[in-house]
Structure 1
Amino acid sequence: MAFDREHIVMLPMIAKGHLIPFLALAKQIQQKTGFTITIATTPLNIQYLQATISSTSSSSNTQSHSNNFDINLAELPFCSSDFGLPQDTESTENLSLKQIGDLCAATVNLEVPARRLILDIIEKEGRPPLCIISDMFFGWATNLAKSSGTVNVTFTTSGAYGSAAFMSIWLNLPHRSTALCDGYFTLPGFPDQSRFHISQLHHYIKAANGTDSWSKFYQSQFSLSTKSLGWLCNTAEEIEPLGLEILRHYFRLPVWSIGPLIPKDALKNSSTSDLRVSRQPAEKCMEWLDSYGSDSVVYISFGSQNTISETQMMELAIGLEESGRAFIWVIRPPVGYDMKGEFRAEWLPRGFEDRMCKSKKGLLVHNWAPQLEILSHKSTGAFVSHCGWNSVLESLSQGVPIIGWPLAAEQAFNSKMLVEEMGVSVELTRGVESVIVGKEVKRLIDLVMDKSGEGGEMREKAGAIKAQIRAAIREEAEFKGSSAKKMDDFLETILSARQEHKSIIADVKGKESAPYTAD
Structure 2
Amino acid sequence: MGKKTFVLYPSLGVGHLIPMVELAKNLLRHGLGVVIAVIDPPDTDAVTAAAVARLAAANPTITFRLLPAPASSDLDAHPVKRSLDTLRLANPALREYLRSLPAVDALLLDMFCVDALDVAAELGVPAYFFFASAASVLAVSLNLPHYYPTIPSFKDKGKALVHFPGMPAIRALDMPLMVQDKESDPTKVRLYQYKRIPEGRGVLVNSFDWLEHRALKALESGVCVPGRSTPRVYCIGPLVNDGKKGDNSDGERHECLAWLDAQPNRSVVFLCFGSMGAFSAAQLQEIARGLESSGHRFLWAVRSPPEEQREFPEPDLERLLPAGFLERTRDRGMVVKNWVPQAEVVQHEAVGAFVTHCGWNSTLEAIMSGLPMICWPLYAEQRLNKIFLVEEMKIAVTMEGYEEFVKAEEVDVKVRLVMETEEGKMLRERLAVAREKALEAIKEGGSSEVAIAEFIRSGEEGQL
Under a length normalisation based on structure 2, what TM-score does the superposition of the two structures give?
0.89
Tell me which residue corresponds to 1:489: 454
Letter in 1 for 2:371: V
Alignment CA distance shift 1:310-1:99 (3 Å): farther
Structure 1 unmatched ranges of 5 or more: 58-65, 86-96, 267-273, 501-519
- Pick one of 311, 328, 333 that aligns with 1:355: 328
Tell me which residue corresponds to 1:466: 435
Tell me which residue corresponds to 1:410: 381
Give the aligned CA root-mean-square deviation in angstroms: 2.6
SS of the aligned residue for 1:33 comes to coil
- Pick one of 376, 391, 410 that aligns with 2:347: 376
Aligned pairs for 1:434-445 (under 5 A) are 434-445=404-415
Distance 1:330 1:167 in 2: 35
SS of the aligned residue for 1:150 comes to coil
Distance 2:78 2:156 in 1: 28
- Pick one of 23, 26, 38 that aligns with 1:25: 23
Aligned pairs for 1:153-232 (under 5 A) are 153-169=128-144, 172-173=147-148, 176=152, 183-191=159-167, 194-209=168-183, 212-232=184-204
Alignment CA distance shift 1:98-1:51 (3 Å): same
Q: Which string of whole-angstrom CA distances, capped at 9 and with x for unpartnered residues, describes residues 279-328 of structure 1?
A: 58843111100111111000011101221222221111110111111111
Aligned pairs for 1:85-484 (under 5 A) are 98-99=78-79, 102-121=82-101, 125=102, 127=103, 129-169=104-144, 172-173=147-148, 176=152, 183-191=159-167, 194-209=168-183, 212-248=184-220, 249=222, 250-251=224-225, 252-263=230-241, 274-275=244-245, 279=250, 282-338=253-309, 341-344=313-316, 345-356=318-329, 359-429=330-400, 434-450=404-420, 452-475=421-444, 480-484=445-449
- Pick one of 69, 73, 83 that aligns with 2:64: 73
Kept after mapping to 2: 8 A contact 1:375/1:395? yes
Kept after mapping to 2: 8 A contact 1:333/1:341? yes
State the shift of 1:181 in Å: 8.3
State the shift of 1:207 in Å: 2.4
State the shift of 1:177 in Å: 6.7
State the shift of 1:429 in Å: 3.8
Range with greater deviation from structure 2 (466-475 or 388-397): 466-475
State the shift of 1:342 in Å: 2.9
Kept after mapping to 2: 8 A contact 1:323/1:442? yes
Letter in 2 for 1:460: E
Alignment CA distance shift 1:323-1:100 (3 Å): farther
Distance 1:311 1:296 in 2: 27
Alignment CA distance shift 1:140-1:79 (3 Å): closer
SS of the aligned residue for 1:464 comes to helix
Structure 2 unmatched ranges of 5 or more: none
Range with greater deviation from structure 2 (454-463 or 306-315): 306-315
Range with greater deviation from structure 2 (172-181 or 489-498): 172-181
State the shift of 1:453 in Å: 0.9
**Percent identical across equivalent pairs?**
27
Letter in 1 for 2:165: G
Distance 1:276 1:26 in 2: 20
Range with greater deviation from structure 2 (441-450 or 26-35): 26-35
Alignment CA distance shift 1:461-1:144 (3 Å): same
Q: Which string of whole-angstrom CA distances, capped at 9 and with x for unpartnered residues, describes residues 138-167 of structure 1?
A: 111222111111111011011111232244
Range with greater deviation from structure 2 (278-287 or 318-327): 278-287
Kept after mapping to 1: 8 A contact 2:71/2:89? no
Distance 2:36 2:151 in 1: 40
Distance 1:324 1:37 in 2: 50
State the shift of 1:227 in Å: 0.8
Alignment CA distance shift 1:156-1:449 (3 Å): same
Letter in 1 for 2:320: W
State the shift of 1:231 in Å: 0.3
Kept after mapping to 2: 8 A contact 1:331/1:365? yes
Letter in 2 for 1:417: F
Alignment CA distance shift 1:168-1:317 (3 Å): farther
Distance 1:362 1:281 in 2: 22
Kept after mapping to 2: 8 A contact 1:83/1:106? no
Distance 1:393 1:361 in 2: 27
Letter in 1 for 2:19: P
Which of the pair has more CA radius of gyration?
A: 1
Q: Which string of whole-angstrom CA distances, capped at 9 and with x for unpartnered residues, describes residues 152-201 of structure 1?
A: 1011011111232244346533651799988222333234xx11112313
SS of the aligned residue for 2:152 comes to helix
State the shift of 1:383 in Å: 0.4
SS of the aligned residue for 2:449 comes to helix
Letter in 2 for 1:148: L
State the shift of 1:118 in Å: 1.6
State the shift of 1:77 in Å: 1.4
Alignment CA distance shift 1:165-1:27 (3 Å): same
State the shift of 1:492 in Å: 0.9
State the shift of 1:23 in Å: 0.8
Alignment CA distance shift 1:436-1:367 (3 Å): same
Aligned pairs for 1:44-59 (under 5 A) are 44=46, 45-54=48-57, 56=58
Letter in 1 for 2:406: I
Q: Which string of whole-angstrom CA distances, capped at 9 and with x for unpartnered residues, describes residues 263-289 of structure 1?
A: 4x56xxxxxxx5556758843111100
